[in-house]
Structure 1
Amino acid sequence: MKDLKNYIDHTLLAATATESQIRNLCEEAKEHGFYAVCVNSSYVALAKNFLKDSEVKLAATIGFPLGAASASSKIQEAKKAVLDGAGEIDMVINIGFFKDRKYDEVKSEIQEIKKTIGNNLLKVIIETCYLTDDEIEKVSELVMQAGADYVKTSTGFGTRGASLKDVQIMKKVVGDKIKIKASGGIRDAETARQYIELGVSRIGTSSGIKIISNK
């Protein structure tokens, strides 16, 4: 297992996030060697500037946190985020569409965003707290078929975050074909390691410093 810091997307997505807090997030990521920072799309240009001359990657959320924005608006948001300097996109699917079994529309939206961002990484948030086990299987399959790079458990703004069971289901479907990101409620090293042992490649957390300090 790699060092825990290499799995962490150091995250600040609160509605109240300020410029100084984004600066602090980026400075922490550089200091502790986290893999990436993850911010809302309006802060991408700012974070890119704060991360210059570092190896830390930059991820932006799209359609966050509800996923219910129009596909065209998500596509434009993703396009702008990449232009502003994001190398990774964390998008939220339209959960209501998925619940209505509009599978072609859900898949098409993912495909269009991936096409828009080109070689940049696409992580697709399925918000497992709102899904049955069967639905987690189905949507993981859709994400994989749509050409995304990662399937991701949660926004952290739903009724709960990730669970080990969620990841087990996702891993059973995607295997090693695409990667998995777990996020929401992961606040200590022991829990982080449990997810990694199940096959998670990235962990989204606002508790990254605590995780690596208590390893």
Structure 2
Amino acid sequence: MTIAPYIDHTNLKATATPSDIKKLCQEAMEYHFYAVCVNGCYVSLAKEALQNSNVKVAAVIGFPLGAMSTEAKIFEAKDCVKNGADEIDMVINIGWLKAKKNDAVRDEIKALKKAIGGTILKVIIETCYLTDAEKEIACTLSMEANADFVKTSTGFGTGGATLEDVQLMKRVVGDKAKIKASGGIKDKATALQYIELGVSRIGTSSGPTLL
């Protein structure tokens, strides 16, 4: 099977330059990846670089810590959509989740989804910082807030995606939300394992190598 349609080709490094983003977009078109995933300042550049292709632009919000105010996240998301983002990957407020402020976590996701309307919303729960019980709660809150995807990781935490976490997430969300595995996926065999478990998208900076 071809894994290209599953891949969000990603460069979220602090050091990423405009030429790095153009290269990312060029590779995404060449390999027919589903999307590129970039920081907000590069959304319009990526949109322009991809204008004659079917490759989508995903932008990260509240990245990578998730600890910004809800208002800041909403502004950032709306700004990215205005600049051409087709999808938004937001980081939950991990501290709120750890403190069992479930209503606040759910309300924030819901507010972002409302602000961006029909734009796809992926919710990064950053599994490396959570207990299994917290992962389950994060997935449930994301579904209750009408998110389109739950996503494992930023790739900037202490760990990335694991097969066990994806199995847990799939058990919780079923068919009510899609799953994106992200962080540390660097070879094709691993990517195929995630796809077999039911993920709809794989976030990786190693797309060309995976193929």
The verdict on a shared fold, with TM-score over 0.5 as the criterion, is yes
Q: 1:3-44 CA distances to partner (integer Å, 9 max, x unpaired)?
A: 200000000000000000000000000011000000001110
CA distance in 2, matches of 1:164, 1:32: 25
Q: State the partner residue of 1:82.
A: 81
In 2, Cα distance between the equivalents of 1:98 and 1:135? 7
Superposed CA deviations along residues 147-166 of structure 1, whole A, max 9, x for unmatched, are 00000000000001000000
Q: Secondary structure at the match of 1:76?
A: helix
- SS of 2:203 mapped into structure 1: strand
Within 2, Cα distance between the matches of 1:73 and 1:24? Answer: 29
After superposition, the CA RMSD in angstroms is 0.6
Q: Distance in 2 between matches of 1:122 and 1:181?
A: 11
Equivalent residue, structure 2, for 1:4: 3
Q: Secondary structure at the match of 2:121?
A: strand
Once residues 62 and 139 of structure 1 are traced to their aligned partners in structure 2, the CA distance between those partners, rounded to angstroms, is 17
Equivalent pairs counted in the alignment come to 211
Q: What is the TM-score when the length of structure 2 is the normalising length?
A: 0.99
Partner of 2:174: 175
SS in 2 for 1:61: strand
Post-superposition Cα deviations, 1:38-85, rounded to whole Å, max 9, x if no partner, equal: 000111011111111100000000000000000000000000000000
| Counterpart Cα distance in 2 of 1:194 and 1:144 | 24
Task: Show the counterpart of 1:156.
Answer: 155
CA distance in 2, matches of 1:144, 1:170: 11
Q: Which runs of 4+ in 1 moved over 2 A?
A: none
Partner Cα separation in structure 2 for residue 134 and residue 159 of structure 1: 19
SS of the equivalent of 2:65 reads coil
Other structure's SS at 2:96 match: helix
Letter of the structure 1 residue corresponding to residue 38 of structure 2: V
Deviations 1:68-127 (A, max 9, x none): 000000000000000000010000000001101111110011001001111010000000
Letter matched to residue 22 of structure 1? I
Alignment map for 1:29-108 (pairs within 5 Å): 29-108=28-107
Q: Which runs of 5+ in 2 are unaligned?
A: none
| TM superposition score normalised by structure 1 | 0.97
